[in-house]
Structure 1
Amino acid sequence: MSDPVAIGIDIGGTKLVAATVAADGRLIERHRRETPAHDTALLLQTLRASIRQLAAGRTDLPVGIGIAGLVSPDGVIRYGPNIGVRDVAIAEELADTTSAPIAVTNDASAAALGEQRAGAAQGHRDVVMFTLGTGVGGGIVVGDRLLLGANGFAAEIGHLIVAEGGRRCPCGARGCIEAYASGTAIGRVAAERAAAHDGPTVLRDVPMPTGRDVSQAALAGDELAQQVLVEAGTWLGVAAASLVNLLDPEVLLVGGGAALATSRWIVPAATEALQQRMLGNAWRVAPAFELAALGDDAGMVGAAMLALDRAGAAAPHGSRS
């Protein structure tokens, strides 16, 4: 078994999963705890306990942490939508657990780096990843490095506006891709279409359908559900076209629970919409949409790899971390 080179932690709204990670991205030892989502002191205590348990006395392992929300480059969580922490300097607070760097970043960005280093996009240096779940997230890797932006807030792909003045997004704006391709949006559109639909559909019998309800109906052959998923995929392709025109990635990844269950409708529709809208589409080949491979482990792997990158950058010239 390979030795661990870093620790990766994924902080979710209900669970906190931490693991030691090998140089090739394989997880070695994993622990899961409940997330004390609305108690900052207890959250920090839980993180310390996880790190010390996995480090087993070592103080040289870099630590990477992924969390939903806005995270500054120095490891301060400015805002977390599912976790009641605001302006918490997590990297500084946990500095007593390791002598190596502590990297904190957005969980979807961490997942993108994990897939690029050890998952479906391995071998590609320029990657865009969409994560489709309750909302839409994402991450961007450019030149083998995670794109963080000046303030650490880059790659909020879910809030790329695809329809000015369109559907209201949970963020308060209108027309974000999250309002069209998230699991929540898919359920809402399905409810609207079922109410106005004359033909047979099982969705009419579901008072408040979720994205999972629509997925299950589509898999069972419900044509209305399939049409809703194709529409969501089309909007995803619209968003992808802007990102391809801007970044020219090698591959587009789609991850998250909503994507895996609905890929047979979403991916072809997204591919067609991208090809129609991509600049110079008659003279270039569109990057392919690929399904993410690491599942829930991607965030831990990516966070660990980001911390390892920072440890390498901080190492004295000629040394190896």
Structure 2
Amino acid sequence: MADNKTRAKKQDDVILGETGRPYHGFPTPEKLDRHGPARIIALCNQKGGVGKTTTTISLAAALASYGRKVLAVDFDPQGALTVGLGVQAHDVPTIYDLLLDTKRDPHEAIVPTATEGLDVIPANIDLSAAEVHLVNEVAREQILSLVLRKVAPEYDVILVDCQPSLGLLTINALTAAHGVLIPMECEFFALRGVALLIETIGKVRDRLNPSIQLDGLLATMYDPRTLHSREVLERIVEAFGDDVLETVIGRTVKFPDASVSGMPITEFAPQHPAAQAYLRLARELVSRGAVA
């Protein structure tokens, strides 16, 4: 999109994107003639404040704008995804209720959002008690998978917004997922935890979910004006190569403004560079085959 092109640099007649690799525009995906079954993507990072929830909301809305039917699952007791999509989670069934009673119909907890094609399963602080309740359950790591399996045929993609930890809830999300998207803040300390997370994904692959894949690392909160941001992004690409997505999400005050309004940034400020970046991310994931 235009925002990336203006910041891209030309070298030997090749346009380089912000990651230092050749820039690709990624074509607008064609509309789907049918929906489902969904590919489940967990958005994980044990470090907080790296843009997981913002990415889940914005990516979900961007995919919905391209005709995909999307279900966003709030899997964080803070419930920020729920609030960010303008959904009230008081006195309604939540993901916590579905985890405690897997025989319950998940449709009871699915709430349509104001964004066409985007639904959400909300969460609230009750979810913080889930690990205590699940610890003695048989096959406790697979509870979320049992829940999502019932609704997966109706959606093209299910995005699970994980809490910032590597506890039982996150393991549930990784066990249920086909792919993992790791948002990474362009800040030095963000690099330190990613190796541990990738190691955890490897253990889940070996022991619980052989089909799980790393869909990519997404650089977030990038500020091209600072040397620190540029150096960290360069180190991320050096360390993880093609696993780093070409799309880079910049730092902007528009994200908290959109959250307060209960709208995705793609609708709150559709022409803003951050909104255009998330639309590009959606196109990139479709091009990579991570989303139908």
Larger radius of gyration: 1
TM-score, normalised to structure 2, is 0.30
Higher relative contact order (CA 8 A, sep 6+): 2
